[in-house]
Amino acid sequence: MKHFSLEPLKEWFGFTRRERRSSFVMLILIVSIAGLRFIIPVRKMTIEELPVEVRDSVNEYVSRVSFYSAGSSYRRSSVNRQKPLLDINNCDSAALEALPGLGPVLSARIVKFRNLLGGFASADQLKEVYGLSEETFNLVRGRIFADTSAIRKIKINIADYKQLIRLPYFEKYEVTAILKYLELNGRISGMSDLVDNKLIAPEKESKLRPYLEFGE
């Protein structure tokens, strides 16, 4: 049977005071660190505490899953909620107000401009409505169309000054020149007569074409 030896203890007490103090502090630290595992409850590591490489991989995976999930939801929503296009030639101001960005004032102006024109030849003509910005037009452009069969045309060869000047694309001097030409020549056969005889500016030809009729 081995006897308990006091040699290690004697050796420890043989340390200098500074050495004994350092050893004692280290012992306390070791015991304290070991005890923390039992005192502090285990918690889950947050993503911010993960290593940078792991965190980036997790974030990328989550982003991809969210993207495809959102895209799938959007496509299903678009199919289920797609609304019919609004014909801006055959709708009232209340229907226009239901479009994004169009309040009662702009809707009333659109109807008034449509009446002056005799109908829209293109949805792009909404950009000519006073106060309707490019941003607002971009909001509604995918929700509207213009039924050109609804356009009210002007029979230019029998029209009077009041009928012609009502069309916003005509200037007073142009209407006067057209009526004078009709008085002297009897009739206008087509758009080429208007342009070639300098009755209208060439750049107006495409704008006026949908609204003029050259028969009797």
Contacts of 169 (CB under 8 A, 6+ apart): 204, 207, 208, 211
> CA angle, corner 135, sides to 133 and 136, nearest 5?
70
Q: Which of residues 127 and 82 earns the better pLDDT score? A: 127
Would the pLDDT of 89 be above 90? yes
Mean pLDDT across the stretch 107-123? 95
- What's the pTM value of the predicted model, to 2 decimals? 0.59
Q: What pLDDT is recorded for position 190?
A: 93
Q: What pLDDT is recorded for position 68?
A: 47
Q: Which of residues 144 and 56 earns the better pLDDT score? A: 144
pLDDT band at 92 (very low <50, low <70, confident <90, very high): very high
Question: What percentage of the chain carries pLDDT values higher than 90?
Answer: 59
209 phi and psi angles, rounded to 5 deg: -50, -45
Mean pLDDT across the stretch 142-149? 93
Kindly report each contact of residues 96-102 with a partner whose C-beta sits within 8 Å and lies 24 or more positions away, as own/partner: 99/139, 99/140, 99/143, 99/144, 100/136, 100/139, 100/140, 100/143, 101/135, 101/136, 101/139, 101/140, 102/136, 102/140
**Domain residue ranges in the chain:** 7-39, 47-81, 86-150, 154-213
Q: How far apart are CA 47 and CA 49, in angstroms?
A: 5
Would the pLDDT of 161 be above 70? yes
Mean pLDDT across the stretch 88-114? 94
pLDDT band at 95 (very low <50, low <70, confident <90, very high): very high
Mean pLDDT, the chain, as a whole number?
79
Tell me: the pLDDT tens digits for 29-84? 666 666 655 555 545 555 555 555 545 554 554 455 454 455 555 455 544 456 78
* Fold classified for 86-150: DNA polymerase; domain 1 (1.10.150)
Q: What pLDDT is recorded for position 84?
A: 86
Residue 64 contacts residue 124 (beta carbons within 8 Å): no
Would the pLDDT of 180 be above 70? yes
Q: Which of residues 55 and 216 earns the better pLDDT score? A: 216
